């Protein structure tokens, strides 16, 4: 059984300079209250691994707008002009990763694989500095696995054993990120008694979750 902690207590667990995977798809599935708490404590130097940087007032975008992020590994920044301006100004480093490749690199990190082979990016600037592997006469890039110190996940429901469910696009990256981080902090919309969540509905088993963020009163 896990005792839920406040967003402020959860944010205090994440030191400056940490690498952080943040779930969500344009903010859906991101832990909004935990992100607000990181902004409030003026976190600095974070490396953020995420699908996208949302908007300046939503999800990961709040961290970028507040100056909390040093570098970001993501699939696109097109919805966040603040990310674009800071990248051009040299205030943050941005590594753009094709979305499917990003998902597979995270999965590889969670599964303990040495990387994944993908044809995406062969013959483009994406391939610069990367190993090219020939398989049956076809060229593939070796993309190395991604892991992080923390995974911050927004969930639909949790029970007090830490089992999590997600809704809609929140399920895109959250489940694989839970495997690829040393410490998993989940912010559910609702915490229910053990047994309420049907076993078949669990997308992230509680054995992977270290901390739950409690709901506001």
Round the CA-based radius of gyration of the chain to a whole number and report it: 17
Per-residue confidence (pLDDT) for residue 215, from 0 to 100:
85
Per-residue confidence (pLDDT) for residue 111, from 0 to 100:
96
DSSP 160: T
Is pLDDT of 63 > 90?
yes
Domain ranges (residues) in the chain: 7-212
Residue 163 · residue 186 · CB < 8 Å: no
Strand-by-strand arrangement of the 138-143 sheet = 116-118, 138-143, 132-135
Q: Which residue has the tokens 């409030």?
A: 40
Is pLDDT of 136 > 90?
yes
Is pLDDT of 216 > 80?
no
- Candidate from 10-14, 106-110, 204-208, 212-216 with smallest mean pLDDT: 212-216
List CB contacts of 30: < 8 A, sequence separation 6 or more: 22, 23, 24, 54, 58, 59, 60, 152, 154
In CATH, the architecture of 7-212 is: 3-Layer(aba) Sandwich (3.40)
Q: Report how many helices (DSSP H) and strands (DSSP E) the chain contains, helices first.
A: 6, 11
User: What is the four-CA torsion angle of 15, 16, 19, 25, rounded to 10 degrees?
Assistant: 100
pLDDT tens digit sequence for 70-128: 999 999 999 999 999 999 999 999 999 999 999 999 999 999 999 999 999 999 988 99
Counted residue by residue, the chain has a size of 217
Dist. CA 187–CA 154, nearest whole Å: 5
Percent of the chain exceeding pLDDT 90 equals 94
pTM above 0.85, yes or no: yes
Residue 21 · residue 180 · CB < 8 Å: yes
């Amino acid at each position: 059984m896990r005792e839920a902690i406040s967003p402020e207590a959860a944010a205090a667990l994440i030191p400056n300079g940490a690498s952080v995977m943040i779930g969500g798809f344009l903010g859906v599935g991101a832990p909004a209250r935990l992100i607000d708490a990181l902004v409030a404590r003026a976190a600095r130097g974070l490396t953020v691994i995420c699908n996208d940087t949302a908007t300046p007032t939503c999800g990961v975008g709040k961290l970028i707008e507040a100056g909390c992020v040093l570098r970001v590994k993501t699939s696109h920044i097109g919805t966040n002009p603040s990310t674009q301006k800071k990248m051009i100004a040299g205030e943050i480093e941005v590594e753009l990763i094709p979305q499917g490749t990003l998902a597979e690199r995270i999965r590889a990190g969670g599964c303990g694989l040495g990387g994944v082979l993908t044809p995406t990016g062969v013959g483009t600037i994406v391939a610069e500095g990367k190993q090219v592997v020939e398989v049956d006469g076809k060229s593939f890039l070796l993309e190395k696995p991604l892991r992080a110190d923390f995974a911050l996940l927004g969930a639909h429901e949790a029970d007090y054993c830490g089992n999590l469910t997600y809704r809609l696009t929140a399920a895109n990256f959250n489940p694989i990120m839970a495997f690829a981080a040393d410490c998993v902090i989940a912010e559910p919309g609702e915490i229910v008694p053990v047994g309420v969540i049907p076993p078949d509905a669990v997308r992230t088993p509680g054995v992977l979750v270290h901390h739950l963020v409690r709901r506001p009163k």
